[in-house]
Amino acid sequence: MNHFQRKRGVLHAERIPLAALAEAHGTPLYVYSTATLTRHWKVLHRSLAGLDHVVCYAVKANSNLAVLSLFARLGSGFDIVSGGELYRVVKAGGDPGKVVFSGVGKRDDEIAFALESGIRVLNVESAPELARVSIVARRMGVRAPIALRVNPDVDPKTHPYISTGLRENKFGVSVADARRLYALAATDPALEIRGIACHIGSQITELRPFLDAIARVLALAGDLRAQGIHLEHLDVGGGLGITYHDEEPPHPDAYGAAIKKALARWDGRVFLEPGRVLVGNAGVLVTRVLYVKRSGRKTFVVVDAAMNDLVRPSYYGAYHTVELAGLPREDAPEIVADVVGPICESADFLAKKRRMPEPLPGDLLVVRSAGAYGFAMSSNYNARPRAAEVLVDGDRALVARRRETYADLVRGEEPAPRAERFTASRG
């Protein structure tokens, strides 16, 4: 369910036509729906009723301050993977006490920032990292709250780039290593064991991988408790998928029921790290047609959005529905075309071999399900300013991030000095 619907044939974001937003704010343009974001968070939260839980939104999916502040007001926790994401959460009014910090490469300054901020827990992913956390905590004179991220060696049956729970992935520690490291952490006065964590991947469309991972982590947690190692919480990760094309992921109600059943004997708190399922279908990318180009047997619809704006199709081979924002012309012939952007790469496409009414230059196309890993993965490649982001709430629109300018592209840079100045500085 999302709040991007057609009214008299015209696609709206809640009560505002997308064409009106494009006219006011330009293109390419990311548009998010407050009603959809709110509904998705509440549906997932309610699906876990009766379970002592904290929904920790995965900031990496969409880190816009407007989105984060909306979730913070709903009572959300946050899953972060960098110091920058923690800064964003704090700036958005998030509660650091509901923040879990994951990731395999935390720097000393990021660890220190997390401890200063009073986050809930650092999810430690290796023996060297455990040692670094201890060193930083000793230096600061504090105890670091930690959990070990366990790699349960479960196949999530998703794209290999977003699979994180197999033995060959870089994430987490094995069950055997976890036993040893928990015993070590229990004797370290600079460390405070809070819980145990796992996360097996993203865009998962079956329940079985989640349940298999939980079963393996629960077995380890039981053994640790029997050895006197107290665990306050269990973090089951995130990764529930959405429908981009023909996927049929479990409804959050089914997911919640399965999680509650799997954790029926767990008496601690449960943390979850949903990202895509909360924001993916709550956002679209609006782009304007520049030309329709024919080259031999191929037809290309050239638009003003590109792989720097939405890299998922070229990076993952991901499918996004693409449709006209308005009604097609009555006499528009049907074409099969690739939707491509201006970037100087053959990989620059948003869609391939799509059947659509032939658009005219100036028409608007809408790329669906772009709220997750859309703007968050965008770049300035080919010196292209990044798109604006707008958050719609009913009939109101907030510019959540202004469009970048050419001046923004060179902020922080300096031209090289003349050769004689190099010589003078050496002398």
> What are the catalytic residues?
344
Q: What does the buried/exposed string (b/e) look like for 190-209 if buried means 16 or more CB atoms within 10 Å of the residue's CB? A: bbbbbbbbbbbbbbbbebeb
Nearest to 370 by CA among 321, 328, 403: 321
Assess contact for 153 and 128: CB atoms under 8 A.
no
Query: CA 405: distance to chain centroid?
Result: 25
In this structure, how many other beta carbons lie within 10 angstroms of the beta carbon of residue 74? Answer: 14
Taking the CA atoms of 233, 236, 238 and 240 in sequence, report the sign of the dihedral they define: negative
- DSSP letter at 111 equals H
Single-letter code of the amino acid located at 40 = H
- Give me 52's structure tokens: 């002592």
Residues sharing a CB contact under 8 Å with residue 160, sequence separation 6 or more, in sequence order: none
Q: How far is residue 230's CA from residue 221's CA, in Å, rounded to a whole number?
A: 9
CA distances for 172 relative to 201, 231, 324, angstroms: 12, 18, 43
How deeply is 142 buried, as exposed, middle or buried, from its count of CB atoms within 10 A (0-12, 13-18, 19+)? middle
